Amino acid sequence: MYIAAFHWLPAQYDEQFHQLNARIDAVARANPGFIGSESWQNDDGTRRCASYYWRDLDSLQAFATDPAHLEAKREYARWYAGYQIVISEVVRSYGDGRMPHLAAATAG
């Protein structure tokens, strides 16, 4: 399993951002290697993170090279004051099994 963690400093969002963000989310969810996602922000909302979970690196690469995602990469400075992406390979994951998307991805 791989995790792509997108950390960003938000700036001004406009209608194009929201439309493109919805398209990118749909692209991720349509990818057969997509496991799930989660997001958080710090208390004052000045730093945010969205983590996307993938079965394999090919699925993550397909997401990263989708035209909607490439458009967002070109336009990022309009909506973000800064960003950092961390790609991680999970070597172990365990728990009590009550987190459905992660439990199914790491079973076995």
Q: Do residues 93 and 70 make contact, with C-beta atoms less than 8 angstroms apart?
A: no
Q: Find the CATH number of the domain harbouring 92.
A: 3.30.70.100
Q: Find the domain containing 12 and state its range.
A: 2-106
Give residues with Cβ within 8 angstroms of 69, minimum separation 6: 24, 27, 63
Tally of domains within the chain: 1
Encoded tokens for 26: 């749909």
Handedness of CA 85, 89, 92, 95 (dihedral sign): positive
Q: What is the DSSP string of 13-77?
A: --HHHHHHHHHHHHHHHHSTTEEEEEEEE-TTSSSEEEEEEESSHHHHHHHHTSHHHHHHHHHGG
pTM of the model: 0.84
Q: What is the pLDDT of residues 70-106, one digit of tens each?
A: 988 898 888 999 999 999 999 888 888 777 666 555 5
Q: What percent of the chain has pLDDT over 90?
A: 62
